[in-house]
């Protein structure tokens, strides 16, 4: 996946064509936090080699979600899942997540509105983190990243804009850029996450379960909140004629 149709070519939500400032802000915050943290490798004060790895470990343990510590009460249960949403383990992790947020987040934000979207994003990511921790209560592996929240955005996008065509690349199609309806791309993505969970039990360090939970929550929220808007408007009957 590497792009989507312009939002101004699609049905408008109640907030019209305003720029998705929340989406841009979330992307900016994730980039800033990553660049000034030890994972980027760009800050000399964290050192190099073993010193850098120790700094990264301490940093993620402090601000990320460690299921065993979270569920035992050793971690701050109210803040750890929120701070973990803005951390990423490496450049690929960061860029992969933010690409999906950039492509799909803007349209979902325009449909929901900024205030509702930011609460939806944080809430979905928070619950996805908790579900992952609850499924691995004895794990000492640190969980970081916005994957659960962004999966929620993808789930909402699937319900709200299923016919939007996105440009995607798939390995089994020789990485050719082809255009597909959004529902095909997102269902394919969700299937891969689900198969990964089924195959390896969602082992610690690979939060596939958080992806599936976030996606499901996002889709269900959009369905519950916006399903009435899908009721077809009756065709007006010309004056003097009776309806069929």
Query: Does 172 have pLDDT greater than 60?
Result: no
pLDDT of residue 195: 59
What gap in Å lies between CA 210 and CA 207, rounded to an integer?
5
Choices 1.20.1540.10, 1.20.1740.10, 3.40.50.1980, 3.10.250.10: CATH for 3-226? 1.20.1540.10
pTM comes to 0.79
Token pair of 179 as six digits: 């255009």
Position 114 pLDDT exceeds 70:
yes
Mean pLDDT of the chain: 78
What is the rounded CA–CA span in Å between residue 56 and residue 89?
9
Cα separation values, 215 from 95, 127, 132, 211, 221, Å: 19, 11, 13, 6, 10
Name residue, tokens 């490798």. 41
From the number of C-beta atoms within 10 Å of its C-beta (0-12, 13-18, 19+), residue 4 rates as: buried
pLDDT digits (tens, 9 = 90+) for 177-196: 545 577 777 777 667 666 55
pLDDT tens-digit map of 41-92: 999 999 999 999 999 999 999 999 988 888 887 666 778 999 999 999 888 8
Q: Per-residue confidence at 230, pLDDT binned at 50, 70, 90?
A: low
* Residue 14: CB atoms within 10 Å: 9
CA distances from residue 15 to 75, 107, 201 in whole angstroms, order as listed: 39, 11, 41
User: Of 135-139, 145-149, 225-229, where does mean pLDDT reach its minimum?
Assistant: 225-229
Closest CA to 108 of 79, 71, 137, 149: 149
Give the helix/strand (H/E) hosting 198: helix 182-200
CA distance 109 to 90: 27
Residue spans of the domains in the chain: they are 3-226
Element (H, E) at 25: helix 21-36
């Amino acid at each position: 996946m590497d792009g989507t149709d312009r939002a101004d070519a699609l049905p408008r939500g109640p907030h019209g064509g305003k720029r998705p400032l929340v989406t841009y802000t979330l992307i900016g915050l994730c980039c800033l936090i990553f660049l000034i943290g030890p994972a980027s490798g760009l800050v000399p004060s964290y050192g190099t080699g073993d010193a850098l790895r120790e700094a990264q470990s301490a940093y993620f343990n402090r601000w990320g979600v460690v299921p065993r510590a979270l569920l035992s009460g050793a971690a701050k249960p109210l803040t750890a899942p929120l701070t973990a949403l803005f951390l990423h383990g490496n450049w690929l992790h960061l860029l992969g997540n933010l690409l999906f947020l950039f492509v799909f987040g803007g349209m979902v934000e325009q449909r929901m509105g900024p205030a509702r979207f930011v609460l939806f994003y944080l809430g979905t990511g928070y619950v996805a983190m908790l579900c992952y921790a609850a499924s691995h209560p004895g794990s000492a592996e640190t969980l970081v990243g916005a994957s659960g929240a962004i999966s929620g955005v993808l789930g909402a996008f699937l319900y709200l804009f299923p016919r939007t065509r996105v440009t995607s690349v798939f390995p089994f199609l020789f990485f050719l850029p082809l255009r597909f309806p959004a529902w095909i791309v997102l269902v394919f993505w969700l299937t891969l996450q689900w198969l990964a969970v089924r195959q390896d039990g969602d082992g610690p360090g690979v939060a596939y379960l958080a992806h599936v939970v976030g996606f499901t929550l996002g889709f269900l929220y959009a369905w519950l909140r916006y399903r009435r808007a899908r009721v077809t408007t009756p065709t007006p009957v010309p004056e003097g004629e009776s309806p069929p």
